[in-house]
């Protein structure tokens, strides 16, 4: 089974399919066992790397949204404080 990983901005595609090698008899699998194991380990490492990149990207977007909300709230509160300070100065 071939696992194809395509990583683009915010999108991961995983396609599974059988190759001619997978459809052939089990004799070839036994003869090149270490190579297949290395390929599988390499595929797992690639998949883990893509998963990690996707998680970091999602976390970064979430943090940017949280920070943007914080900045907006801070700006509104600062403007309100200035307005209230002016009102108090007018009264005095």
- Domain boundary assignment for the chain: 2-91
Question: Backbone phi, then psi, for 30, in 5-degree steps?
Answer: -75, -35
Q: Which has the closest alpha carbon to 9: 73, 53, 43, 52?
A: 53
Q: Report which of residues 76 and 33 the model is more confident about.
A: 76
- Determine the straight-line distance between the first and last CA of the chain, rounded to whole angstroms: 80
Are the CB atoms for 32 and 25 separated by under 8 Å? no
- Tens of pLDDT, residue by residue over 9-68, are 555 555 555 555 555 555 554 556 788 999 999 999 999 999 999 999 999 999 998 898
């Amino acid at each position: 089974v071939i696992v194809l990983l395509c990583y683009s901005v915010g999108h991961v595609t995983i396609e599974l399919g059988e190759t001619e090698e997978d459809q052939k008899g089990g004799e070839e699998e036994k003869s090149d066992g270490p190579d297949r194991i290395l390929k599988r380990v390499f595929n797992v490492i690639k998949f883990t790397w893509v998963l990690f990149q996707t998680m970091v990207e999602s976390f970064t977007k979430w943090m940017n949204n949280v920070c943007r909300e914080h900045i907006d709230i801070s700006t509104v509160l600062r403007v309100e404080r200035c307005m209230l300070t002016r009102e108090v100065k007018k009264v005095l």
